[in-house]
Amino acid sequence: MSDLPHISNWIDGSQAPPTSERVTVLNPATEAPIATIDATPQETVNEIVLSSLNVFHNGKWSKADASERFSVLSNAAVLLRSRIPEFVELETLQTGRPIREMRAQLARIPEWLEYFASLARVHEGRVTPFKGPVVNTLTRMPLGVVAQITPWNHPLLIATKKIAAALAAGNVVIVKPSELAPLSVLRLGALFKEAGLPDGTLQIICGYGRETGKYLCENPYLSKIDLTGGLATYKAIAPNASTNMIPITAELGGKAPVCFFPSVNVEDAVRAALFASFIASGQTCVTGSRLLVHNDMYDAFVELLVKRVESLRIGTPTDDRTQIGAVINKAAVERCSSFVNRAVEEGGTLLCGGKPTSVDGKGFFFSPTIISVTESSHLACNEVFGPVIAIIRCSDEKEIIRVANMTSFALGASVWTNDFSQAHRVAEQIEAGIVWIDGHHLNDPSSPWGGFKESGIGKENGVEAYESYTKVKSTVINYGVKPVWFDDDIENARYG
């Protein structure tokens, strides 16, 4: 293990001295160690927060002109775009996702830097219609030091989404990536320094979520916590954040329904289901994990779907022919198996897959799985985060809408129909923060991303994300109202 490369925290513009405790990062496709990272202790976390607070108050970034923020973020976008191949290789290595998926995803990530760079440059304050001879200006200001807890399934994408919005607004950012896939995020530190970001404005610290992540989120000097993770993690950090009056943006997962109506050609519908359900081996928060299929097309749909799923190529993630890569670790394999076993015990019908597998006898792989279940089964209502998909026969449009809204999650959903009126009618009634019509997994830096119910609070992307990283100052300028409250002219006095 001593010959493994060690990638230490990125602090104050350079790689920090390694901590005494370390975490080993594995390649999930081979189970082989890739590198080690720091396990940052509480004392060091608190020192980094205080250092970051000093950086915020010195104003090099928080008080920089919008044009300077635009320039730095734009430079970072250019640098990132030129280095996409190396980031693709790293993401594939640490996540086990097929390399062709990573090429497609990472090619778009610089767009987030470009979008928020532009937003920093053009976003304007406003003047309210304040009554009387008074001008009221609203100015947006950065919050301060913000903590971002990012996941392992889209390490670079989700970190960049959060970092871009926070930096554009003038904040100092501390990112804590998942210990399962932190390497691409750690590489962002040097990239932003090269782009011109002042030292200490982006800090990247590593360690276990239950330790380092907890220490970070408990620090009272934070001005915001932005979390992408599970509901249990949110519930663990929310009470302390509430005590310290720290706002939280939380994207917590989903159980996305994919709604199919008989006006769609069966082959097109199956192709859509494969894309919705098995990108990233089902390890996304908007995985199409519930296929709600109209009775009139159900039998033909299932027959073709099973045939297509059984032909998906499981393989080495670095092979361009591979369609299904690894899941993230052994615990993910066990979770998938547990869901399959319970679904069958509850009376579900295993249509294909359902077993752990491997490539050359190694790796954390699970065969793509389709199980026919009832709408109230455990599999139909709970997030697997793996390639285990529920399919539910629905009698009509009304039932599809009802089943789509049954779970406590409400992040994403998609509606597939060639009936224009039906598409909008159904989309309007589905409870979800994101509803796609004849599409799935579509994302853009300008499009707000976030859910309802237990899927989270707040939004990533768009003006909404930018503004959530700011606080509003109201400046009231009186140019004609005389302060006469204690004078004789009480009739004309103004008060709150």
Q: Could you tell me which of 251, 199, 191, 259 has the C-alpha nearest to residue 225?
A: 251
> By the 8 A CB rule, do 99 and 318 touch?
yes
CA distance 326 to 367: 10
Query: Which token pair is 376?
Result: 């109230």
CA distance 439 to 453: 23
Residue numbers annotated as active site = 251
The length of the chain, given as a count of residues: 496
Give the amino acid at 286: V
Number of C-beta neighbours around residue 119 at 10 A:
24
Edge-to-edge strands, sheet with 257-260: 349-352, 369-372, 388-394, 290-294, 257-260, 412-416, 434-437
CA distance 367 to 370: 10
Per residue, what are the HEC states of the chain? Answer: CCCCCEECCEECCEECCCCCCEEEEECCCCCCEEEEEECCCHHHHHHHHHHHHHHHHHCCCCCCCHHHHHHHHHHHHHHHHHCHHHHHHHHHHHHCCCHHHHHHHHCCCHHHHHHHHHHHHHCCCEEECCCCCEEEEEEEEECCEEEEECCCCCHHHHHHHHHHHHHHCCCEEEEECCCCCCHHHHCHHHHHHHHCCCCCCEEECCCCHHHHHHHHHHCCCCCEEEEECCHHHHHHHHHHHHHCCCCEEEECCCCCEEEECCCCCHHHHHHHHHHHHHHHHHCCCCCCCEEEEEHHHHHHHHHHHHHHHHCCCECCCCCCCCCECCCCCHHHHHHHHHHHHHHHHCCCEEEECCCEEEECCEEEEECCEEEECCCCCHHHHCCCCCCEEEEEEECCHHHHHHHHCCCCEECEEEEECCCHHHHHHHHHHCCCCEEEECCCCCCCCCCCECCEECCEECCECHHHHHHHCEEEEEEEEECCCCCCCCCCCHHHCCCC
Task: Please name the residue that has the structure tokens 């406590």.
Answer: 408
